[in-house]
Amino acid sequence: MSYTLTLDRAAAFLGTSRSTLYKWLQAGKIPAKKLGGQWRFSEPDLKTLRDGRSDKNLTAEFAELAAFFQDRIPRRRSRIMKTVNATAETAADAIVWDADSHEASDIHLQPRPDGVHLLFRIRGVLEPIRILSAEAARALEQSWSSRSVLSSRTGQQQVFLSRKTDQGEVQIQVFAQGLDTLQGRCLTLRITEGGLAFPLSHICRKKEDADRLGRWLANARGLLLLSGGSGAGKTTTLFSCLRHLADVRKGAAIFSVEDPVHFRMEKVNQVDVDCRDAAACQTAFERILRCAPDILATTVDNAIAARWSLDAARTGHLVLMQTEAASAGEALKRFESLVGERVVGVPMLVANQKLESVGGGLRAAYEFLESPDCET
């Protein structure tokens, strides 16, 4: 057996500190040979040590993590989040949901001499949460990685997590970036905006607004333009409409073009594009229309998306598009400016929304503008 790894390389291989490895060496827990006055280790011995001692220790550590994160759940949410089980996957999920509940923008796992430090960045400051073993950190990363997709835009691993609440499904998106350093394996998870698949009745301030949207979505063709200011909840309305369509239009082929995909829906064929890349945006719409969709939705707000949305609505598709505007009238003007013509001969509903406080929460209040060609 070849003993070629130095003390530093052996420590990096095991994901532990040099001092800890030296303690194991003194206690006889790891085989080694002294060559030229320096300790040398073999990779097969280190692999056996790393893999053979992990299962029992990890089970106990994840059980401690489960209790730790259960204690951190706010009382008002205790009935929503179930007890965390002692597995790598549930611990990985608990870390992300805990960070989200404390409004953290990102999660860091940083190797240090005493273990891997778990930190949350909250309001721009890294706050220490807990110290993990290198084995636990490695198992957590493997759990996230096994459920990730590769983002075509950033090359990062992209993980979607979701859970049920009494209001609907909540989902967040996490970008994971790992990096091997001299101290060991670093991992950063960046939490981005999530999504809520609310029923229409949950997002609308007035029942008649929810009924109106529901009736309009029953159309076989036409264009629904969802507008509002920044932060007005346009994306939430869009996904609530898609949820409604997925529930009532059984068997319909539903596609979306998004920049970027923030919320994954099982019954929607979602395409992630960079709207700054005109060629990629154009190609996405071309290929989707060749896939014979019944329903097309887009969060992209540019001339390419507007042109394709109008053409699709004219050729017998139901289309949903969101745009930023202060009123329904301005949204229609903006859309017509993007397509370069007046919109005639197409059933069209413009829904401009603002958020209003209702019972301690926020609901959308709508201003509607319908074209004379509307079929509802």
**pLDDT tens per residue across span 156-193:** 677 888 777 666 667 788 888 888 888 888 999 988 76
Whether residue 306 is predicted with pLDDT greater than 90 in this model: the reply is yes
Do residues 321 and 309 touch, judged by C-beta distance below 8 A? yes
pTM: 0.63
Q: Which two tokens stand for residue 330?
A: 């301005």
Task: State whether CATH 3.40.50.300 applies to domain 198-370.
Answer: yes
Do residues 58 and 134 touch, judged by C-beta distance below 8 A? no
Distance separating alpha carbons of residues 89 and 173, to the nearest angstrom: 16
DSSP class per residue in 283-300: HHHHHHHHT--SEEEE--
Domain locations along the chain: 7-52, 54-196, 198-370
Q: Which two tokens stand for residue 334?
A: 């903006």
Question: Looking at residue 355, what is its pLDDT?
Answer: 92
SS3 (DSSP) at 121: strand
CB within 8 Å of 149: residues ≥ 6 apart: 157, 158, 159
Pick 374 or 9 by higher pLDDT.
9
Pick 184 or 118 by higher pLDDT.
118
Do residues 221 and 343 touch, judged by C-beta distance below 8 A? no
pLDDT band at 25 (very low <50, low <70, confident <90, very high): confident
Q: What is the pLDDT of residues 54-80, one digit of tens each?
A: 556 778 888 888 888 888 876 545 444
Instruction: Tell me the range of 14-23, 77-86, 141-150, 172-181 where mean pLDDT is highest.
Output: 172-181
Give the number of residues written for the chain: 376
Question: Looking at residue 80, what is its pLDDT?
Answer: 43
Number of H helices, E strands in the chain: 12, 16
| CATH tag, 54-196 | 3.30.450.90
Q: What is the pLDDT of residues 148-164, one digit of tens each?
A: 776 656 566 778 887 77
